[in-house]
C-alpha cells in the first residue's frame, strides 16, 4: 500500500518528540488529562479560548515573550509580546461592550493576517461573543456568510467593505456596526479611547466560540460551530501532531479566516505560550528564519519538494507537517533528500475542529498513509446500513467510510441553523466523515477518496 519504504526515525528524533511510544501514550492519555494542561478561568468560572491564549501567559513569567511576529513592513508593531496582546485585546473587548455587543452575539472578522485580525479574533473570544470568520481571499462569499451568521459587528478593511459588503448593507439588518482596519482606520481611533483593563467573564466549555464557513463534503457552504472546549483537542493535537515544544517558533502557511489558521496559527500555539511567525500570505516556504515547525498545505510542499529548493528553508527548521489532502506519497517518500526533513501528513475536517489522524515526529512514517488516530480519538472503518445505522469493518485493507466516535472536545456543535444536516452526519454514536479509507493491520489509515454523495438542489 505504501508508495515508498518506511521512513525510520532515529533515537534522537524519538527522544525529542512528545509522542515516541504510540501504545503507551494512548493507554495513558485521557481528555481530562489534556484539559489539565490548560488553566481554566479563575475561581472555576469555566473555560475560555482567549483567556488560555492570552491572559494565562500575560500574567505569568512568559509575559515578555514574543507571541506574534509579523513580516517586516512599514507598519508597526512588527512584534507583539503576550503583554502587548493582552492590552490590545483588553481594549478591543471593552470596545465590544461599549458598542453594545452581547455575549450571545457574533463578531465577523474579514481580514488578512494582520495584527488587527489577531486582536479582533482573540478579543471576541475573551469577551464571550462568538467569532465568525472568512478568509479575505473568499470575500466574494462574504455577503452570504455575513447574512447567515447575523453578526452584530463586522471588522474588515475599507477595500473589502466597499467592494463586497457596502452594496448589500441594507440586506444585513443584524449588522449594527462596521469597524474598518487599514492604514487610515476608524478601528485604531476607537480602540485608543478604550480602557486597557478587562476581566474575562465566565464562559462554560460548551459555550459557542467560533463559526467557520466550509463547503464540506456536501457542496453546500455552511457555518460550522465549535465551542470553547475545542481548545482542548487543538492543544493536544498541536502537542502530538505538530510536536510543539516551549522553545519552538511556528509558521502556518494558510490564509487567516480558515479554521486551520485559527486553530493552529493562533489558538493552539498561543495557548502553549510559544511564538507564532505570521506569514504575509500563503507562501512556498517560511520567510522567518527562526521558524522551527512549519505547518503547510500540500500544494506548496509538493512544489517545493519537486523543485529541490531546500536552501530556501529556515536553518532552524526541525519539523514539517502537511495540512492534509493532496499530499503526494512521493513527496513524503523523498522528503528527506528533497527537503532535508520528513513531511508528516495529517487528516481532519472543519467539522472535527482539530487534527484527529496524523503521522508523528517520534514515529516511523509510511509514505501515503494518513497516519494513526490522535490519542483519545477512536476511529473506525464503517459501512452504512440505512438511516442512522452502520456496520464496522474489522478486516484490514478493506475500503469503507471513515467514522470518528462522537465526543472528542473539538467536535462541531452543528451547522449554523441546519439541524437536519447536522443529524445526517451521525449514526450509532459515530460521526460519518464521507471520506473513504482503509486501515492496515498496524492501524494506519489510508485515504481512498470521497464517498459519492447526491447533492441537494439549490445554490452551492
Using CA atoms of 321, 322, 323, 328 in order, give the dihedral in degrees to the nearest 10.
Answer: -170
The beta strand positions in 230-300, using DSSP E, are: 249-252, 275-277, 293-296
- The pTM of this model reads 0.95
What domains lie within the chain, and their CATH numbers?
A: 11-376 (3.40.50.12780)
Q: Encode pLDDT of 345-369 as tens digits.
A: 999 999 999 999 999 999 999 999 9
Nearest to 344 by CA among 450, 243, 208: 243
Place of cell 447536522: 422
Rounded Cα distance, 284 and 304, in Å: 7
**Alpha-carbon distances, residue 364 vs 5, 6, 8, 326 (angstroms):** 10, 7, 5, 21
* pLDDT tens by residue, 60-85: 999 999 999 998 765 555 899 999 99
Residue-level pLDDT, tens digit, the chain, 460 residues: 555 699 999 999 999 999 999 999 999 999 999 999 999 999 999 999 999 999 999 999 999 999 999 987 655 558 999 999 999 999 999 999 999 999 989 999 999 999 999 999 999 999 999 999 999 999 999 999 999 999 999 999 999 999 999 999 999 999 999 999 986 678 888 999 999 999 999 999 999 999 999 875 555 679 999 999 999 999 999 999 999 999 999 999 999 999 999 999 999 999 999 999 998 766 678 889 999 999 999 988 998 888 766 777 899 999 999 997 889 999 999 999 889 999 999 999 999 999 999 999 999 999 999 999 999 999 999 999 988 899 999 999 999 999 999 999 999 999 998 999 999 999 999 999 999 999 999 999 999 988 876 544 332 2
3-state class of 129 per DSSP?
coil
Nearest to 129 by CA among 108, 157, 158, 113: 108
455: exposed, middle or buried (Cβ count in 10 Å: 0-12, 13-18, 19+): exposed
Q: Which of 276, 291, 271 is nearest to 354 (CA)?
A: 271
Contact assessment for residue 52 and residue 38, using Cβ atoms and an 8 Å cutoff = yes
Amino acid at each position: 500500500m505504501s508508495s515508498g519504504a518506511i521512513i525510520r526515525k532515529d533515537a534522537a528524533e524519538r527522544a525529542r518528540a512528545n509522542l515516541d511510544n504510540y501504545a503507551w501514550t494512548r493507554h495513558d492519555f485521557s481528555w481530562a488529562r489534556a484539559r489539565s494542561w490548560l488553566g481554566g478561568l479563575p475561581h472555576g468560572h469555566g473555560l475560555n479560548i482567549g483567556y488560555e491564549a492570552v491572559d494565562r501567559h500575560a500574567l505569568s513569567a512568559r509575559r515578555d515573550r514574543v507571541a506574534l511576529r509579523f513580516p517586516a513592513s512599514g507598519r508597526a508593531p512588527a512584534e507583539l509580546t503576550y503583554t502587548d496582546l493582552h492590552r490590545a485585546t483588553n481594549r478591543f473587548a471593552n470596545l465590544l461592550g461599549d458598542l453594545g455587543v452581547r455575549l450571545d452575539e457574533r463578531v465577523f472578522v474579514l481580514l488578512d493576517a494582520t495584527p488587527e485580525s489577531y486582536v479582533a479574533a482573540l478579543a471576541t473570544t475573551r469577551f464571550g461573543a462568538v467569532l465568525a470568520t472568512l478568509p479575505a481571499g473568499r470575500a466574494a462569499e462574504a455577503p452570504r456568510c455575513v447574512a447567515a451568521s447575523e453578526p452584530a459587528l463586522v471588522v474588515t478593511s475599507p477595500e473589502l467593505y466597499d467592494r463586497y459588503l457596502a452594496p448589500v448593507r441594507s440586506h444585513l439588518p443584524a449588522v449594527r456596526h462596521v469597524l474598518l482596519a487599514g492604514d487610515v482606520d476608524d478601528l485604531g481611533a476607537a480602540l485608543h479611547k478604550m480602557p486597557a483593563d478587562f476581566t474575562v467573564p465566565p464562559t462554560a466549555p460548551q459555550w459557542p466560540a467560533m463559526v467557520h464557513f466550509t463547503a464540506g463534503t456536501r457542496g453546500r457552504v455552511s457555518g460550522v460551530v465549535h465551542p470553547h472546549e475545542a481548545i482542548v483537542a487543538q492543544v493536544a493535537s498541536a502537542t502530538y501532531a505538530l510536536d510543539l515544544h516551549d522553545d519552538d517558533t511556528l509558521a502556518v502557511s494558510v490564509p487567516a479566516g480558515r479554521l486551520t489558521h485559527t486553530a493552529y496559527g493562533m489558538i493552539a500555539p498561543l495557548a502553549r505560550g510559544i511564538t507564532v511567525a505570521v506569514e504575509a500570505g500563503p507562501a512556498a516556504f517560511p520567510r522567518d528564519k527562526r521558524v522551527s515547525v512549519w505547518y503547510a498545505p500540500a500544494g506548496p510542499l509538493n512544489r517545493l519538494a519537486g523543485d529541490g529548493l531546500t536552501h530556501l528553508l529556515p536553518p532552524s527548521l526541525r519539523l514539517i507537517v502537511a495540512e492534509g489532502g493532496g499530499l503526494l506519497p512521493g513527496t513524503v517518500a523523498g522528503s528527506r533528500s528533497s527537503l532535508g526533513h520528513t513531511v508528516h501528513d495529517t487528516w481532519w475536517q472543519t467539522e472535527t475542529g482539530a487534527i484527529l489522524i496524523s503521522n508523528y515526529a517520534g514515529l516511523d512514517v509510511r509514505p501515503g498513509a494518513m497516519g494513526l488516530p490522535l490519542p483519545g480519538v477512536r476511529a473506525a472503518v464503517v459501512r452504512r446500513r440505512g438511516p442512522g445505522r452502520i456496520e464496522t469493518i474489522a478486516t484490514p485493507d478493506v475500503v469503507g467510510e471513515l467514522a470518528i466516535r462522537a465526543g472528542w472536545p473539538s467536535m462541531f456543535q452543528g451547522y449554523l441553523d441546519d439541524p437536519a444536516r447536522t443529524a445526517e452526519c451521525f449514526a450509532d454514536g459515530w460521526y460519518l466523515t464521507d471520506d473513504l479509507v482503509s486501515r492496515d493491520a498496524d492501524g494506519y489509515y489510508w485515504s481512498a477518496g470521497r464517498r459519492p454523495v447526491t447533492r441537494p438542489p439549490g445554490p452551492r
